[in-house]
Structure 1
Amino acid sequence: MLDIASLKNLLNQPKKIVITTHHKPDGDAMGSSLGLYNYLIQQGHHTTVITPSDYPDFLTWMPGNEEVVIYTDNKERSAQLIAEADIVFCLDFNNLSRINEMGELVRAADAKKIMIDHHLEPEDFDDYRHWDINACAAAQLVHSFITDILDNKKLINKDVATCLYTGIMTDSGSFRLPNTTSSVHRVIADLIDAGAVNYRIHELVYNSASENRLRFLGHCLSSCLEILPEFNTALIVVNKQDLQKYDVNTGDTEGIVNYALSIASIRLAAFIVERDDKVKLSLRSKGDFPANEICKLYFSGGGHRNAAGGQSSASLQEVVNQLKQILPEYKKLLIQ
């Protein structure tokens, strides 16, 4: 493992650097990646952000986005960049399976691997780790990596601040989740001072939905929502036909599970969607209910205690039935 002195020495001269993040990147994944990108290019590093897949249109406005390489669209170029890299930064994930085919390319690369992440149980593939499960976002850790580890706060300019603000804002649920500590607010204040225009960022992320997305949301709430009052649980179940009918694009399902969780009595909410290859689950919970445990034990997934995800190769109805059969095991936690 690299120590801090060796890390600083490694970054002291321009290097070939790849930054990557997890499949179907969210606001924190792209915010932390582009925040780090905009920091590194100031020092002359030859830096490329490579995402394993596409990501929502409401994130494509961030500074540096025009330089992002999407692996599924540019496999040959991506493989070459990874193979030639001196450093690969792995942001907002801690297991190489989370970047799909790219995982083995990163594992085989001679580059030093630097993980910046806040998820449980990291895989041991990295040479340096800036990791804290108590951080509300990977973007918060990128901020501390720049300011505390590298002692370079002066290089957090408007572009860096804008991206990191976006990451923290989205992963903290607009600063309303329990991990939004006073320290997080102090970081946010620093980012605003550095040039992040908070109200404009909120507008770009949250007020840019398509008409189809809004109609799809209405359909989910009116026709796909099921309440299980005996378990204080709500499910939103969406099939492939629904996705086709409303022309659902990447990012259009983001955050819908939170509407189910917003019901006063609900402690666990699930958004279950049928994709072409698998059924995907997004779980959200209140208090100390372990949504991540359910995803890890039963649906080949994981995440945070109150926000987790999983998947299954079973049919949509089989997955719904399986989740319902699991709930009695957690009834005491759900009704307390």
Structure 2
Amino acid sequence: MTTDENLLNRVSGQWTTEALRTMQEILSGSSKVAITAHRSPDGDAVGSVLGLYHLLARKGIKASVVLPDRFPSFLDWIPGTESICFHSEQSKESEEIICSADALFCLDFNAPDRAGSLADLIVSSSARRVMIDHHRDPDSFADLMISDPSCGSTCELICDWAIASGNWSNVSLDAAKALYTGIVTDTGSFRFPSVSAHTHSVIAALLDLGLKHSEVHEATFDDQSLSRVQLHGFALSERLKIRKGAGIGVIALDLADLERFEYVSGDTEGLVNRILGIRGIQMAIFMRESEKGKIKMSLRSKGYVDVQALATAHFDGGGHKNAAGGILRSMTMPEARLKVDEVLGQWFNI
């Protein structure tokens, strides 16, 4: 496909001539390329690392993908997942890949600590580092930093690089599947404010490559186990608490709740959006006990409510204005609920 001039004119302004030149220099001067993303990888993290992995492969560049830990099982279908090395399971091999790399791509995170167990390895790496991300307030830790918070996903930024650098012909069908998955998941199926006309133009270009978007949607969203559906029903009917006057909804699931429904990674994906979809709700919080003393949080909002600021200030997290995540450590679920209630009371004067 010949890249449309209109598409080229709309790529992220971060991909300047100098940035493209630096990217090419790093790639051409590297014999060992490593690609990584943030802890608890989501669709955009997995889609961007595998999208770039497949794209580089078509250019004749062999790369290795290392992630801090496992991603939700509903992303297992993406081509290339079998090649990923997980630090949580293969620590020695993962560390060897990072330490021996002369080019290290850091995708979908903007500070080393977001990479969890890989943070120290990233900081100490002698490789030339490339950060490609769309979250606010990045740390200056990379030799090339592509940071565009106005963009709906890191996968869109990877597509923009392929377009601007003349590499669109190297986007294989496998790469297209990975990149589309990242875009569709991180934009909430194209419903978030970050979606632009350019986002849809990129999707059209991916479809022109032969991508079957309905197949991606079915594999990602419509292949749920009965226990997962039952868990969602239980969470909404038995664990949802709503502050009607404040427009806030909270669901908290402890280990016992999860075990009751044979929880596997990814089973609670989307619950926070179900809360936000309730009429009158402006902010939704989902809390999941991932292990004893550790509570993972997902926060979503509508309009002016800035959940990134809330997550950054109180929950060791970050993200975007209307979608963020956080972690509470060294506390039980009842203690975590009290903490959240206190923070909400202070933050919103309720």
- Give the TM bin, normalised by the shorter chain: over 0.9
Aligned residue runs from structure 1 range 69-148, under 5 A: 69-148=85-164
Aligned residue type for 1:110: S
Once the two structures are TM-superposed, the CA of residue 329 in structure 1 deviates from its matched residue by: 4.3
Aligned partner (choices 321, 330, 334) of residue 317 of structure 1: 334
Q: Is contact 1:162–1:195 with CA below 8 Å preserved after alignment?
A: no
Once the two structures are TM-superposed, the CA of residue 6 in structure 1 deviates from its matched residue by: 3.4
Per the alignment, residue 327 of structure 1 pairs with 344
Structure 1 position 193 matched with structure 2 position 241: no
Alpha-carbon distance in 2 for matches of 1:13, 1:312: 42
Alpha-carbon distance in 2 for matches of 1:111, 1:249: 35
Per the alignment, residue 177 of structure 1 pairs with 192
Report runs of 4+ in structure 1 exceeding 6 Å deviation: none
State the secondary structure of the residue aligned to 1:44. Answer: coil
Deviations 1:177-234 (A, max 9, x none): 1111111100110011112210000000001111211111111011001111011111
Q: Is contact 1:130–1:145 with CA below 8 Å preserved after alignment?
A: no
State the secondary structure of the residue aligned to 1:49. Answer: strand
Alpha-carbon distance in 2 for matches of 1:7, 1:275: 38
Aligned partner (choices 263, 267, 270) of residue 252 of structure 1: 267
Q: Is contact 1:14–1:43 with CA below 8 Å preserved after alignment?
A: no
Q: Is contact 1:112–1:126 with CA below 8 Å preserved after alignment?
A: yes
Going from structure 1 to structure 2, the CA distance change for 1:97 and 1:14 (only over 3 Å counts) comes to: closer
Per the alignment, residue 308 of structure 1 pairs with 324
Once the two structures are TM-superposed, the CA of residue 3 in structure 1 deviates from its matched residue by: 4.8
Q: Is contact 1:157–1:195 with CA below 8 Å preserved after alignment?
A: no
The number of aligned residues is 331
What residue ranges of structure 2 are gaps of 5+ in the alignment?
A: 1-17
State the secondary structure of the residue aligned to 1:88. Answer: strand
Deviations 1:236-284 (A, max 9, x none): 1111110111121111111111111101100011101223141121111
Aligned residue type for 1:74: Q
Aligned residue type for 1:56: P
Aligned residue type for 1:76: K
Aligned residue type for 1:230: G
State the secondary structure of the residue aligned to 2:324. Answer: strand
Alpha-carbon distance in 2 for matches of 1:35, 1:125: 23
Per the alignment, residue 54 of structure 1 pairs with 70
Aligned residue type for 1:301: G
Q: Is contact 1:17–1:85 with CA below 8 Å preserved after alignment?
A: yes
Aligned residue type for 1:320: R
State the secondary structure of the residue aligned to 1:275. Answer: strand
Aligned partner (choices 271, 274, 278) of residue 294 of structure 2: 278
Structure 1 position 292 matched with structure 2 position 327: no
Structure 1 position 151 matched with structure 2 position 166: yes
Going from structure 1 to structure 2, the CA distance change for 1:238 and 1:246 (only over 3 Å counts) comes to: same
Aligned residue type for 2:243: L
Alpha-carbon distance in 2 for matches of 1:228, 1:8: 52
Give the TM-score normalised by the residue count of structure 2.
0.91
What percent identity do the matched residue pairs reach?
A: 35
Q: Is contact 2:37–2:49 with CA below 8 Å preserved after alignment?
A: yes
Q: Is contact 1:14–1:45 with CA below 8 Å preserved after alignment?
A: no
Once the two structures are TM-superposed, the CA of residue 9 in structure 1 deviates from its matched residue by: 2.5
State the secondary structure of the residue aligned to 2:242. Answer: strand
